């Protein structure tokens, strides 16, 4: 499992993640697989649904169940078997690169933050030391930035 010894020919490993549900029962979820051709993988586990497990090979094992411990299970199986398995959708690696994903989340966060301070003109109290930016200007900037990011994620470098 350290990557120094390959799987036997025609074999690979299903990768499962387990954490207990509210009642303390083990819930195993298939994340994906590793093979000699793909010896490592990064799986997202932050979006896994509690209590929604999948069929797994660990049920017959006498593993101690501690209600607060997560476990990882690797099941060595035939490559044909691995190809037929369906991992949980939320564990799939995003096809959007991390910079684009970060930028989109940053845009959303900024827009939500700025919008939380929106007031109507009637609610505004004059204060000569403060500048106000109309919410529609922020929205227009937000939409333009998203459009440009979609067209070319590196547009900001030019």
pLDDT score of 13: 92
| pLDDT, tens digit, 9 for 90 and up, residues 79-121 | 999 888 888 776 665 555 677 778 888 888 888 888 888 888 8
Whether the Cβ atoms of residue 34 and residue 41 lie closer than 8 Å to each other: yes
pLDDT score of 11: 93
pTM above 0.85, yes or no: no
Report angle CA 93, 46, 28 to the nearest 5 degrees: 90
| Domain range summary for the chain, segments of one domain joined by + | 11-84, 98-151
Distances (CA, A) of 93 to 9, 63, 82, 89, 143: 26, 29, 17, 9, 26
Residue 19's pLDDT band (cuts 50, 70, 90): confident
Q: Alpha-carbon dihedral of residues 135, 113, 132, 150, nearest 10 degrees?
A: -50
Buried b (16+ CB within 10 A) or exposed e, 130-147: eeeeeeeebeeebeebee
Separation of alpha carbons 16 and 58, rounded Å: 10
């Amino acid at each position: 499992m350290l990557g120094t010894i390959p799987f036997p020919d025609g074999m690979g490993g299903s990768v499962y993640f387990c954490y207990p549900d509210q009642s303390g029962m083990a819930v195993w979820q298939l994340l994906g697989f590793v093979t000699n051709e793909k010896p490592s993988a990064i799986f997202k586990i932050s979006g896994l649904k509690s209590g929604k497990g999948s069929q797994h090979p660990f049920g017959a094992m006498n593993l101690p169940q501690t209600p607060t411990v997560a476990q990882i299970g690797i099941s060595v199986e035939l490559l044909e078997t691995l190809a037929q398995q369906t991992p949980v959708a939320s564990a799939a690696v995003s096809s959007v690169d991390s910079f684009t994903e970060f930028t989109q989340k940053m845009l959303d966060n900024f827009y939500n933050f700025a919008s939380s301070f929106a007031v109507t003109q009637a609610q505004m109290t004059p204060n000569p030391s403060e500048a106000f930016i109309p919410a529609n200007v922020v929205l227009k900037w937000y939409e333009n930035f998203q459009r440009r990011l979609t067209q070319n994620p590196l547009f900001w470098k030019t």
